[in-house]
Amino acid sequence: MNWGLRWRRRVEGPLLAPRSFDLTVLTMLMVLAVHAPHLPAWLSTALGAVLALRWWQRRRAPGKAPAWLKLPLIALLTLAIVTTYGTIFGRAPGAALAVGLLVLKLLETETPRDARVGIAFACFALMAALLFDQGLVATFGVALGLLPVLAALRSLEPAQASATLLRQLLPGLTLLAVSLPLTLFAFAVVPRLSSPLWGAPQADETRTGLSSEMSPGGMTELLIDDSPAMRVTFDGTPPPRDALYFRAYVMRFYDGSSWHASNNPSPEPEPLESYGRQGYTVTLLPNGQRVLPALDVPLQSVAGATLRLGRVLVRDQPVNDTLNYHLDSALHYRMQARLSSADARAALQLPAHFNPRTIALGHSWRQRYGEDTGAIVKAALDMFHNDGFSYTLAPAPLGRDAMDDFLFATRQGFCEHYASAFTVLMRAAGVPARVVTGYQGGFWNRMGSYLLVRQSDAHAWSEVWIDGRGWVRVDPTAAVRPERVSLGAAAASGDGRAWYQDAWLQGMRNRWDIVNRWWDKGVVGFDALRQKGLLTPFGVPQTDNRTLAWLLVAGGMLFGGAGLAWAMARRSRMDPALAALRRLERKLAHAGVARRRGEGPQHYLRRAARALPRQRDALQALMEQYLQLRYASDEPASESLRDFRRKVRDFRTARVVQ
């Protein structure tokens, strides 16, 4: 208690009301909530604890935190952010610092002025959350965060009657609903920029997704990530599920622990003989990568990208915004029927002094089957199928000779383990081979007629070169667990991670994805190009900035006129406070105290209080409340007006005794 008293002696000026302080805390809690998905867990937890402790301390005794407490906390926050991010500049560290300083501002929030400063900064912090995520849920969360902001600002106005928290939040909800038409109009006609204001993407914009490097066990977090990666619509009938392989990276170099994609930007794609084609459109969600997943195998490139070795599409710029591209792919093909000696050496490369037992096994197959590549491939697949291998997303860790540990000890793993081990075995047996990573499968959404591919559909497989046939896809994971191809990674694991594969939950989840798809296409994807076609349904082929400006002026005048008419209509009605005062005057006149000509309400009610001593306190309170309603603010709160009218209605008088 003494600690609270030491804080209280530092307070100067009018004290913040408890309800206003609670609403300010709720405002900062909402800011923390909308930023929590991209803040470190330790920071969100620590700031939440500061909010809770400050609220608890303030309930015991008001008071500002002393400087000896605030300054070390600010220094500690800055040091922690620099340690975590390496800098305080940039989107992620800047947002973390802003949210942290906002929460620490609460330690000195004791007056209405302090609260207004904190609430104003909270509005900026809420807006900053949209720099990370502009999805439907995130946008709705930011809009919801405005409710405590509006309620807190209203609570700081004079003459506010006490009300429940829900009733204080309702006016803000009404304001948001009324502002929705104007918001939609401004969204549609305010001219769009062709590029974001903050310029080039920063390093902290990289998102979860596939990588140009693969090591056994590295995809674990990706395979349990249920967020969408891309959506695919097909021209005509979609391919069967076992043909839904979307290649992203082709990896040829192996250092004993990891596979790496070629870092040479110049190699041309392999020659291809295709049999038929499948057209489709990909809506790729932001991932910070440059590689564009394509149905195996793409026949051509797209604008802003090049087709490189391995038939891999590489974009000039990272995908930091939702990207749409149309491709044609061959489901049946012969790729690079002839292999040069240099390509063969690259596809047979193995590091020295790694995985001796795996290398020996591959050599033994070479000696047994000779040049029969098909027999060597079958021997490896039979081993995976028959020798006790299991599919799991939680495999045992591997040591330096990772492939030896996997093949002869643990025998547990998922696609990365099997693709890596199979490719090493093939190379040891003299068969050119490489690893391919991308996505396999997905959920066919019948309602939207599109394929939803999630991050959990990430997959790794192998390609072997067979004389006369070229590069041929081999999926060793399917030999161990065919359900990986038919059901997906999580469902095939059988380790309890596929709870969301329940039919009812899956249906709800994928119906919701239709809403997300509409939001991404209609709101997030509403760019300058789409704005130019805004008036196409009305016969205007292209909407230029001049037309948008005229629309903006006309709409502004329309909305302004509507607002002015509404305000004038309200003014034409008698002031509710004045109407209640007239009712009180009639009651007092009936009791024998009539208002004199030219007498002001303050003098009149004081005279009535003297004439009616039994109602003196009630009349004094009514007088003070009326003066607050009439003169303390331009627009008194509806709760205060209702409270005044109720008290006038319940007021009872007796006739003046002469």
Give mean pLDDT, residues 447-458. Answer: 88
* Inter-residue contact 293 to 263 (CB < 8 Å): no
Q: Cα(575)–Cα(586) distance, rounded to whole angstroms? A: 17
Give the model confidence (pLDDT) of 530-573 as tens digits: 667 666 776 667 777 788 788 888 888 888 888 788 777 766 56
Q: Cα(405)–Cα(411) distance, rounded to whole angstroms? A: 8
Give mean pLDDT, residues 136-142. Answer: 87
In this prediction, residue 609 carries a pLDDT of 86
Give mean pLDDT, residues 269-289. Answer: 90
List the catalytic residue out of 404, 417, 459, 520: 459
385 is catalytic: no
pTM flag (> 0.85)? no
Instruction: Retrieve residue 359's tokens.
Output: 């290398």
Give the model confidence (pLDDT) of 480-503 as tens digits: 877 766 555 555 555 544 444 455
List the catalytic residue out of 415, 417, 513, 520: 415
pLDDT of residue 203 exceeding 60 = no
pLDDT of residue 37 exceeding 50 = yes
* Cα radius of gyration rounded to whole Å, the chain: 35
123 is catalytic: no
pLDDT of residue 143 exceeding 70 = yes
Angle in degrees, CA 166, 125, 119, rounded to 5: 50
Q: Cα(212)–Cα(530) distance, rounded to whole angstroms? A: 33
Instruction: Retrieve residue 449's tokens.
Output: 């007629």
Question: What is the number of alpha carbons within 13 Å of residue 298 lying toward its C-beta?
Answer: 28
Give mean pLDDT, residues 68-92. Answer: 87
List the catalytic residue out of 475, 513, 520, 643: 475
Give mean pLDDT, residues 471-477. Answer: 94
In this prediction, residue 232 carries a pLDDT of 95
Q: How far is CA 533 from the centre of its chain?
A: 28
* Inter-residue contact 304 to 317 (CB < 8 Å): yes
pLDDT of residue 263 exceeding 60 = no
Q: Cα(254)–Cα(392) distance, rounded to whole angstroms? A: 24
Which helix (H) or strand (E) is 253 found in, with range?
Answer: strand 245-254
470 has which bridge partners? 335, 466
528-542 residues labelled b (16+ CB within 10 A) or e (exposed)? eeebbebbeeeeeee
* Inter-residue contact 608 to 596 (CB < 8 Å): no
